[in-house]
């Protein structure tokens, strides 16, 4: 499949990064730290995309330790594991933020950098959902799925916003800044507390609030991790509404219909009708094999986001549909027959059943996701590098500062 049409390639040379960051933490704390300290740790010969890749390597290492110590997402790990997750994620955030400065410093700014940066962030979003679930002992269940939904929706809407406004807008509270720092704090606190079991305790009880009669039991018994999900839901709603307002304002200023932009959210909505439906019909997958399924769901979102970014860079039509949801449609229909037969008395037999073939189906979907998204990434990187005469992980034409000074 051709992901970048030849007639759209000239648009790549018109690329110019536009971003707005309203975060006070980013403006007054992180950016001075990045620009005055961190950037000097990287030599001029190091490509920006290589910095992004190295930073992502810390997250991959975190993910591997999670698979070793708590593959079911509900077991306490050694203290050093949680500490390494906090350090690894902070280093990822630092490397991910510095790559833009390195690109400007080495004259390597371009569309490939934005695509590479967003593509890595899309995969990291899913991995961090699993790490967060493991740090709070959420286990394999609906809480992890709700966390996944909130994280993927935030990333998808932010990319959808950038496509229509042509500007990457980060709010006062955003995922790439405050969201990641919050996760770092959660991992670090979990290390200090000695495990994720603490987050299962009632928040009000653990801070010494008495169980007064005017406090409903449902509120008083809410655990730390459930209060965190309430906080996350509030931030999710706030950021989603802000992005919709940004898109509406941008399209109205250009005289375009605002409702057409909302159609771009249907791809995400379709996937998230199918994902909970499949898990509801297959509780065995939900409670015993959730990690590979979550990774597959994350790849569905990463593939959609990647295509949106390409359309943004080449000024193409907004992409709709996603080939990776087709196996999910089959999985839901296959599982729906026995459910209807049990509840209503009519239906159809399942070809996969609810045993080993269903597990194999999930891993087949995961393999398909890796293959399709992997082919997309390789094809797009190869096409852009070939057209712009650049390399991805190394600098093809390094800047000679001494010669530039002499020329001036």
Residues with catalytic annotation? Answer: 118
Convert the chain into a string of H (helix), E (strand) and C (coil): CCCCCHHHHHHHHHCCCCEEECCHHHHHHHHHHHHHCHHHHCCCCECHHHHHHHHHHHHHHHHHHHHHHCCCCCCCCCHHHHHHHHHHHHHHHHHHHHHHHHHHHCCCCCHHHHHHHHHHHHHHHHHHHHHHHHHCCCCCCHHHHHHHHHHHHHHHHHHHHHHHHCCEEECCCCHHHHHHHHHHHHHHHHHHHCCHHHHHCEHHHHCCCCCCCCCCHHHHCCEHHHHHHHHHHHHHHHHHHHHHHHHHHHHHHCCCCCHHHHHHHHHHHHHHHHHHHHHHHCHHHHHHCHHHHHHHHHHHHHHHHHHHHHHHHHCCCCCCCCHHHHHHHHHHHHHHHHHHHHHHCCCCCCCCCCCHHHHHHHHHHHHHHHHHHHHHHHHHHHHHHHHHCCCCCECCCCCCHHHHHHHC
- Which phi and psi angles does 394 have, rounded to 5°? -135, 160
């Amino acid at each position: 499949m051709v992901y970048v049409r030849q007639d759209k390639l000239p648009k790549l040379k018109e690329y110019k990064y536009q971003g707005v960051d309203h975060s006070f933490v980013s403006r007054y704390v992180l950016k001075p730290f990045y620009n005055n300290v961190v950037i000097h740790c990287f030599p001029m010969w190091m490509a920006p995309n290589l910095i992004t890749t190295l930073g992502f390597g810390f997250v991959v290492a975190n993910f591997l330790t999670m698979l070793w110590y708590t593959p079911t997402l509900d077991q306490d790990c050694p203290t050093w594991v949680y500490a390494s997750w906090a350090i690894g994620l902070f280093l990822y955030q630092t490397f991910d933020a510095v790559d833009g400065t390195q690109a400007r410093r080495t004259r390597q700014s371009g569309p490939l950098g934005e695509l590479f940066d967003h593509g890595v962030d899309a995969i990291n979003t899913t991995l961090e959902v699993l790490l967060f679930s493991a740090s709070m002992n959420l286990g394999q269940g609906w809480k992890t799925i709700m966390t996944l939904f909130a994280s993927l929706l935030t990333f998808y809407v932010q990319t959808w916003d950038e496509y229509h406004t042509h500007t990457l807008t980060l709010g006062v509270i955003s995922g790439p800044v405050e969201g990641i720092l919050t996760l770092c704090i959660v991992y670090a606190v979990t290390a200090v507390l000695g495990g994720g079991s603490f987050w299962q305790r009632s928040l009000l009880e653990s801070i010494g609030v008495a169980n007064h009669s005017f406090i409903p039991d449902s509120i008083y018994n809410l655990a730390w991790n459930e209060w965190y999900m309430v906080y996350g839901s509030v931030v999710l709603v706030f950021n989603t509404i802000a992005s919709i307002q940004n898109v509406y304002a941008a399209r109205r200023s250009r005289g375009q219909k605002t409702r057409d932009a909302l159609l771009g959210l249907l791809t995400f909505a379709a996937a998230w009708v199918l994902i909970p439906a499949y898990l509801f019909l297959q509780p065995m997958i939900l409670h015993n094999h959730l990690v590979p399924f979550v990774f597959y769901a994350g790849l569905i979102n990463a593939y959609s986001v990647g295509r949106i970014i390409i359309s943004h860079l080449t000024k193409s039509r907004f992409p709709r549909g996603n080939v990776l949801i087709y196996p999910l449609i089959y999985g839901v229909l296959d599982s729906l027959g026995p459910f209807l037969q049990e509840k209503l008395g009519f239906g159809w037999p399942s070809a996969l059943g609810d045993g080993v073939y269903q597990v194999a189906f999930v891993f087949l979907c995961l393999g398909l996701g890796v293959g399709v998204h992997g082919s997309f990434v390789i094809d797009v990187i190869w096409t852009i590098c070939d057209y712009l005469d650049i390399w991805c992980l190394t600098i093809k034409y390094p800047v000679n500062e001494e010669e530039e000074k002499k020329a001036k």
